[in-house]
Chain A
Amino acid sequence: MKQTLCLLGLIAGVMTGCAKLDVEVQIPEGPSRLVVEGLLTPGYPAEVMLTESNTLQDELVLLAVWNARVSMDTDTGTIATRNILYKKTDRRIMINYGSVDTMREGAHSYFKLNITTKDGRTLRAATKVVSPVRIKSVELNKENIVTHHDLLGNEPRYLRMYAATYKQGKVAMSKSMLYQQGPGTGTSCVMPLSNYQSGTDSITVTLFHIQKEYYDYLTSVENANSAFSDPLLNPEEIISNITGGLGIFTYYTMDKVRAK
């Protein structure tokens, strides 16, 4: 009897003495970093968004960096930029440093980005031009969209395809995919897409010829985002070509067609 009482007392002590605890998670906070997304495309000015990254405790807003010196050296001179924050509605991006003149196809062979912020931090990056890409034809199949392009050659090439369907002028469905192609892999990009044609007013397809650096950057952004929202995946560092910061400085060409 004495032993039984002792046992019951021990169990009661355990049950009442231990309160349920919630695990508090303190998010590690790192220093903010300068982020550059500089895009060079024929037909548009040289456009750069220079921001600072948010710490995890900050509100999620775009932290634009003002009054930096941003220029690009090319084989034909230097391109200066102006610090004006504006929204490019045609490209769907925010810009805070842009050149006055538009880029011309074949006018340059390389670009070197130089940024010095007001507080003396410097960023460097470089990119080479890629050849223009043209969409030869688009097949709208039941379960996919196939885009045929005119890029040939033995060098590996990197492409991005974006397809959007519209209903009453608004995007109803969109998808983008990255492609790595080389000799023998053909000149077409296949995008699986189901039930995308029903009820759509129009379909546009955009094909980008991009640099390997941009391909890696976009892949790492996608992977990092996936890992962020899904614990099943491993975290991935952003693959950047910016020395002293984070982001991408790249040149690409594109072609856009209305397929329907």
Chain B
Amino acid sequence: MRIIACFIVLLLATGTATAQVTTTSKDTSQHTAQPRKSDTLVRVTVIGVKAPTPSANITLSREDIVRTGSVLGEANIYEALQKQAGIIHTTEVNSGLFVRGLNAGNTGMLLDGVNTFSGNHLLGIYPPANADAFSKVQLLKDNIHPKYNGFLGSYLLLETPDKVPDSVRGQAELGILTSKLGVQAPVIRNKLGIISNVRRSYFDLISNTYNRLNKGKADYSPLPVYGFYDWNNTIVLNSRAGLFKLNTMSSGDRLSMDDSQLNLDGHWKNLTIGINWQYQLTSGLCLTVNAGTSRYQADASYKSIGRQLQNEVRESGAGADFHWQLDKSYSLDYGLFAKSYRLSMTSSSLDAADSTQQHITVDKRAENIGAYIYTTIAVTRHLQVRLGTTVSRYKSDKPFTALAPTFNMTYTWYQQAINVSINRQLQYAHLYVPTGIQLPINIWYPSVKNAPPADAWHVTAGYSRAFGHKIKASMAAYYIRQPHQTEFLDKNYFSSLDFKTVQGAGASRGVELNAYYTSSQWRLEAHYTYGKTTGRFPGINEGQAYPLPYDIRHKADMVIQWQFTPRWTFSLSQYVQSGGVITMPTGLYIHQDADLGDGGLQPVPVYTVRNNYRMPLSHRMDVSVKHAFDLGKIRCSWTAGIYNTYSYQNPYFIYFKIRQTEDGERYLQAKTKSILPMVPFISLHTEF
């Protein structure tokens, strides 16, 4: 009891958090923020020890990801994040992070501070990063520190362990679509260690075998061949010169589909190499240096139009961040960064005879340098103010210079907190995905004259409150104004690489609500988001504002976990969200090809209004049971469950087919294509 009382007093004294103490004397009961010496403490009850953070930023440990974000039995970073407010489920699978109504390309994915080009694996079922490789994952979506720059919306920080492994340990996981192996070992005790995690899918092995066995049979339809791997390595060196980490993250995907809707053969690869150096210069001054290079390559052969697209982006950069803690109530952060960027693309004919023409290349380069300053001031015990700015200069075919100021104020009292922030974000690379569905054939188009830098002003306000020690709730409202946006005009870039753009503006606004209940046996989470995202571009939809593809109006998530014995845990998760917005034809007309020998009447779709159709509601429920047990010194667990429990056919895309009636009349019929119906799964996880 004494320890608890001391803890409360300590919390009150530091002012960084508040506690509520119930003191009971003879016949009165009163609530006070600080125990008074004159009172006789008969009983001390901790109702809440800390106000929940009012920031909408999300921090997840690996255990959090395992607990809330498992898909088909495997820990999934995207799934864990998409269950939170403000991040939408893009389709039935998790093809990217669409945060607060912004595009997936507006979220930077940083591996210990080094940009890595995001994407996904297996049509989005698996995210690009293996959760086992990171000790912590953070998603910053408001009050973003200026040391993170280059993306308009948010930052996904993948943080590798800072500690040198103290013993040889490993973990392995066997799932229905992938297997994982992770090993960590000290090389020099307390000085040098290595952590390695590898993941490999084997759906391609199954489909290759199936296709080989059934080739030539009647009614045989080949299964798509899709496989991926990723491999993360971290070398940790703890020396007198500070903590060094060398990270590598490499991955490769291959997709080959050959059916009536899709006919594609694609390979894509990611490689990121980064160095992270943390050094305590003086007792109050700390230096962090991040440097690295990242490369994304895609090679897609699109058979139905006879073209091959090769796309490569490289980014290399370095940054130095200083953190100076002047006293308890004042700190100063400042730093410098420099980046170089290159996009290379080639579109060529799949026909070897067509080497003389139709071979198009694009090569674009850019550089970006900048500096920032950022200060944190504890004005009072309850009020904290942060302000700073980044100055950035970017050069491609035209130089751009910009300031990105930031301001944040947090007021904390008792079990409540309020947070207000305003900041500007700049982005110099535009993500264009030239496919109607979410294949990661990403084109990161650098800012040039016809695609100037994008910027966004974020205004956010948040409120959080704890109700006792079991219940926490928070809400946030945001308004993101994007005065300079580039829209890529419709064009099928496989054949032209002719990037026609138009400049306009956009805005995103919304409200996020979160509620958590935690007890020894139960953990319940509920999240709701209302959002609205619009854009306005000259020449599109007659210059009127229209919804952007990731304009999701309502999204609700619920997670229930019940640990009904120390070794058994039941989990249920459910989401429901409005459909995304796509462009559908509003009619057809008959086109005639004059003077061609085979002429004929050809129906042509009439697309008149951009993003005129909202897809049906999407929702999904997953249930699973986990059982933990020990086999000697090996800790094991198996997880069994059902993905998409009630087998709802969430639409992945819509396509049309011509339907002919018995009397010969022809009509169009729209059909939805789904990817995953109900899938029972089981996975086995061991730690040794």
Binding site for B on A (CB under 8 A): 3-4, 6-7, 10-11, 14-15, 18-25, 27-33, 35, 37, 39, 41, 49, 51-62, 91-94, 141, 143-144, 162, 164, 171, 174, 176, 179, 190, 192-194, 204, 206, 208, 221, 223-238, 246-247, 254
Contact = CB atoms under 8 A, between A and B. Distances in A.
B399 interface: no
B672 A23 contact: yes
Contacts, number: 239
B658 A162 contact: no
The interface centre, meaning the residue of B262, B305, B593, B658 with most chain A CB atoms within 10 A of its CB, is B593
A192 B590 contact: no
Contacts of A174: 596-598
B612 A231 contact: no
Contacts of A62: 590, 601
Contacts of A144: 353-354
A228 B655 CA distance: 7
Contacts of A232: 262, 264, 302, 435-437, 439
Contact of A233 (B435, B598, B650, B654): B435
A53 B649 contact: no
A55 B437 contact: no
A233 B564 contact: no
5 contacts: A49-B592, A192-B349, A224-B607, A225-B602, A230-B261
B662 interface: no
B597 A23 contact: no
A168 B425 CA distance: 68
A99 to B, nearest CB: 15
Contacts of A18: 621, 645-646, 648
A29 B586 contact: yes
Contact of A54 (B261, B490, B587): B587
Contact of B492 (A22, A28, A236): A236
Given A55-B587, A194-B351, A223-B492, A92 B596 contact: yes
A171 B598 contact: yes
Contacts of B263: 230
Contacts of B583: 234-235
Given A33-B587, A56-B587, A190-B354, A231 B673 contact: yes
B671 interface: yes
Nearest to A22: B649
Nearest to A11: B623
B587 A32 contact: yes
Nearest to A247: B589
Contact of A221 (B262, B436, B591): B591
A59 B602 contact: no
Interface string B514-535: 0000000000000000000000
A233 B589 contact: no
A19 B678 CA distance: 12
A227 B600 CA distance: 20
A227 B645 contact: no
B609 interface: yes
The interface centre, meaning the residue of B435, B595, B608 with most chain A CB atoms within 10 A of its CB, is B595
Contacts of B305: 226
Interface residues of B, number: 82
The 8 closest A-B pairs by CB, nearest first: A30-B586, A92-B599, A18-B646, A143-B353, A192-B354, A192-B351, A53-B589, A231-B653
A238 to B, nearest CB: 7
Contacts of A179: 357
A3 B656 contact: no
Contacts of A59: 665-667
A93 B595 CA distance: 8
B169 interface: no
A164 B596 CA distance: 9
B585 interface: yes
Interface string B184-196: 0000000000000
B1 interface: no
Given A23-B672, A223-B491, A232-B262, 9 more contacts: A21-B649, A53-B589, A141-B353, A162-B596, A221-B604, A225-B605, A228-B604, A234-B436, A235-B436
A254 B565 CA distance: 83
B492 A233 contact: yes
Contacts of B602: 221, 225
Contacts of A176: 593, 596
B667 A60 contact: yes
A171 B600 CA distance: 13
Contacts of A225: 602, 604-605
A39 B655 CA distance: 32
A66 B587 CA distance: 20
A7 B560 CA distance: 12
A171 B434 contact: no
B304 A230 contact: yes
A8 B305 CA distance: 52
A58 B490 CA distance: 27
B570 interface: yes
Contact of B436 (A29, A35, A231): A231
Nearest to A254: B595
Interface in B49-73: none
Contacts of B590: 35, 51, 54, 60-62
B351 A226 contact: no
A55 B587 CA distance: 4
